[in-house]
Amino acid sequence: MIRPVAVLRPEPGNAATVARVRDAGLSGIALPLFEIEPVDWSPPAPDRFDGLLLTSANALRQGGVGLAALHALPVLAVGAATAAAARDHGFAVERIGERDVRSMLADVAPVRRLLWLAGEHRTRIDHPSIAQTLTLYRAAPRRCDHAALAPLAGSVALIHSTRAAQQLLTAIDAAGMARGTIRLVAISDKAAHAAGPGWEAVAVSRAPTDPALIDAARALAIDP
């Protein structure tokens, strides 16, 4: 028996992950638990900063016309997808972090003055180089009834964030579904912990990337 793999992240990342799941020879289910929406913001004077910190391409997709005022600032991007989106929006990319924002900033000089263009729900990062943080977008929970969630039974669900774990837990319990019919693969120990107990099985990805998540999902999806 091969279980389907459910992708819970919002679009457009959802479609990209589902495609990777299918390229890996598994069956993918698109079930986004959130929708990305813009937040009103105004760009600060760019001469107050010497770089932009971007941890998600959503800041660029949702940033609107205000981004043009910041084009002179080089970008420090977490992930190749974020870097590619920055280039597509006319920014020069100075550095790409392959794992997460903390590891990328580990050797960034504290005298840097970075403007972080972020989402409303984010992990707190204390680093002397982050001079200001602006919220450009939010991930709003989608309403998912029992019928929408039904395909999760017997699946392996990919958990891309702590908040996704919490939202899945809330949605499943509200729909009266049994957690024990679902296996989880979490992007981190923290995300796995946030999902709570009672799932059929829980695994943690070896790295916070789609390929690593899908590798871990394969082990849970294919029953002997």
- pTM, entire model: 0.81
pLDDT per position as a tens digit, 147-190? 889 999 999 999 999 999 999 999 999 999 999 999 999 999 99
Q: Fold match between 5-33+142-221 and 36-140?
A: yes
The domain spans of the chain are 5-33+142-221, 36-140
CB distance 136 to 152 below 8 Å: no
Give the CATH architecture of domain 36-140: 3-Layer(aba) Sandwich (3.40)
pLDDT per position as a tens digit, 117-148? 999 988 788 889 999 999 999 999 998 888 88
The burial of 38, by beta-carbon neighbours within 10 Å (0-12 exposed, 13-18 middle, 19 or more buried), is given as middle
Strand segments (E) across the chain = 5-7, 28-30, 34-38, 51-54, 75-78, 93-97, 114-119, 130-141, 156-159, 183-186, 201-204
Q: Are strands 114-119 and 51-54 parallel, antiparallel or unpaired?
A: parallel
- Give counts: helices (H), strands (E), the chain: 8, 11
- Mean pLDDT of all residues in 79-94: 93
pLDDT per position as a tens digit, 183-210? 999 999 999 999 999 999 999 999 888 9
Top-tier CATH class for 5-33+142-221: alpha beta
